[in-house]
Amino acid sequence: MEATQYLRMVVVLLSLIIFSRLRFGASKSKGVSIKLIPIDSRESPLYQPNLTHHERVEKRVNITLAKAKLTKLRFTQNATFGDDKHMTALDRQYYFYIALMMIGHPIHFVYLMVDTGSHLTWTQCEPCISCFYQSCPIYDSQASPSYQKVNCDHPLCNYNEPQSPFQCVNGDCIYSLTYGGAPSVSGPTKGDFSMETFHFMNTEGGYEELTVLFGCSNDNGYFYFSDQPDNKISGILGLDTDPTSLVSQLHETTGDVFSYCIVPYDQFYPFDVHPHILRFGEDVQLLEGNIPTTKYITFVDRSAYFLDLIDISVGNYRLRLPSGSFDARLGNGFFIDSAAPFTTLTTSATTGLNIFELVTAAFSRYYDPFLVRLPTTGFHFNLCYMHRQDFRVFLSLTFHFRGADYEVQSRS
């Protein structure tokens, strides 16, 4: 059984807001922000304007299922760390959010995939040994006077620890990361663990310069986005709880607080939505009044943001799941993942229950007497009904977390 460590972290269940030490109000923290672009925004480097509404929904479902599969692989496989390769889960096909980052002097713009489930932030760097294709210029470390390599004495260069992605070569700290698992492997990405100035938007409408540890990748294998004819993606932005993640590095400046918007899903809510803002510290905007919150839980050697989910309700019907159904000490648990657009529910909980089947059965018991169910199309929509114009009473889905309920409103 894994040892648990309860951090003072809460989530506001309107947008996602993380407080890991609750020093936000008392400290001299500042507010900084990053432009966050959903893949279906017109500003996204991966935007596909010719997709139909149904195709966009299918795309999001595929993103979610692929990410869930790789996350399960990450938590259950006996990872091998030979050949300097640290295995971590990465969806080979899609990610959901893209961050526009500003690094170095003069400022160089890079697009990075956003992942709350990974740690090291990295981008392709010149001079390249082997770099995948990107249409925009690759960041040149030698052209920036604020760039410097990290030596092996740095406390975050844990090259002596088991399963570490780092090695010490001629006094420099280098890394190698391989994402996914056979047959869908991306990478590896290799390079120098480095320091550079990153430029963030601040609360006054200007820019804040902060020194960030990141990966300067100059030797890269295959990544799916390099197949795009106009690829602009050059790396990954890691936001988990590991000490090397951007969130952990900014804690002295931002008080360990960050937030991003959970976009509502609606057929009439445009998929080509405007970019959001990933906010840190004082830039996080809290609503007035009594805001429902729930604490996060972290585990030794697991750096995801776990939530203590107690039960689920469909409409007024409460499933009354046995205690421990989502206990991460016994299984995968329930956690936030920015790379998955939709929520997934397990078919084999630690208590032996098929949670997904229990939820869909509750929905079908309600809708079957009133609506005509559509035949299964072979895709993942197993519970679809013919829309009836005069039917308006749709069910909500409620996640009962410890201390707070999150109601997913029904939509017609």
pLDDT-based confidence at residue 74 (cuts at 50, 70, 90): very low
* Whether residue 130 has pLDDT greater than 60: yes
Q: Are the C-beta atoms of residues 10 and 295 closer than 8 Å to each other?
A: yes
Average pLDDT over every residue of 312-316: 93
How many CA atoms, within 13 angstroms, populate the side-chain half-sphere of residue 104?
21
**Which pLDDT score, from 0 to 100, does residue 337 have?**
65
Lowest mean pLDDT among 22-31, 52-61, 179-188, 242-251: 22-31
Q: Compute, in degrees rounded to 10, the torsion defined by CA atoms 178, 155, 259, 66.
A: 10
Q: Are the C-beta atoms of residues 397 and 355 closer than 8 Å to each other?
A: no
Average pLDDT over every residue of 329-344: 69
Phi/psi at 19 (nearest 5 deg)? Answer: -120, 115
**Which pLDDT score, from 0 to 100, does residue 122 have?**
96
One-letter amino acid at 191 equals G
Q: Are the C-beta atoms of residues 116 and 336 closer than 8 Å to each other?
A: yes
More confident residue, 43 or 173: 173
pLDDT-based confidence at residue 345 (cuts at 50, 70, 90): confident
One-letter amino acid at 269 equals Y
pLDDT-based confidence at residue 335 (cuts at 50, 70, 90): confident
How many CA atoms, within 13 angstroms, populate the side-chain half-sphere of residue 376?
5
Spatial separation of the C-alpha atoms in residues 136 and 132, rounded to whole Å: 12
Lowest mean pLDDT among 13-17, 58-62, 232-236, 393-397: 13-17
Q: List the structure tokens of 152.
A: 């092996």
* Whether residue 85 has pLDDT greater than 60: no
One-letter amino acid at 312 equals I
* Closest residue by Cα to residue 265 from 23, 12, 53: 53
**Which pLDDT score, from 0 to 100, does residue 108 have?**
96
* Whether residue 183 has pLDDT greater than 70: no
Q: Are the C-beta atoms of residues 15 and 261 closer than 8 Å to each other?
A: yes
pLDDT-based confidence at residue 320 (cuts at 50, 70, 90): very high
Residues pairing with 404 in the sheet: 401
Q: What is the pLDDT of residues 374-395, one digit of tens each?
A: 876 655 567 888 878 888 888 8
Q: List the structure tokens of 314.
A: 């469909």
Average pLDDT over every residue of 68-87: 38
**Which pLDDT score, from 0 to 100, does residue 287 have?**
72
> What are the chain's domains?
4-281 (2.40.70.10), 310-408 (no CATH)
pLDDT-based confidence at residue 6 (cuts at 50, 70, 90): very low
Helices (H), 204-279: 246-249, 251-254
* Whether residue 369 has pLDDT greater than 80: yes
Average pLDDT over every residue of 109-136: 90
How many CA atoms, within 13 angstroms, populate the side-chain half-sphere of residue 59?
18
**Which pLDDT score, from 0 to 100, does residue 346 have?**
79
Average pLDDT over every residue of 133-137: 91
**Which pLDDT score, from 0 to 100, does residue 305 have?**
76
Per the prediction, the chain carries an average pLDDT of 75
Average pLDDT over every residue of 350-375: 88
One-letter amino acid at 166 equals F
How many CA atoms, within 13 angstroms, populate the side-chain half-sphere of residue 271?
19
* Whether residue 77 has pLDDT greater than 60: no
Q: For the chain, what percent of residues have pLDDT higher than 70?
A: 67
E strands, 182-248, in order: 184-202, 207-222, 233-238
One-letter amino acid at 12 equals V
Q: For the chain, what percent of residues have pLDDT higher than 90?
A: 29
* Whether residue 267 has pLDDT greater than 70: no
Q: What is the pLDDT of residues 94-107, one digit of tens each?
A: 346 788 899 999 99
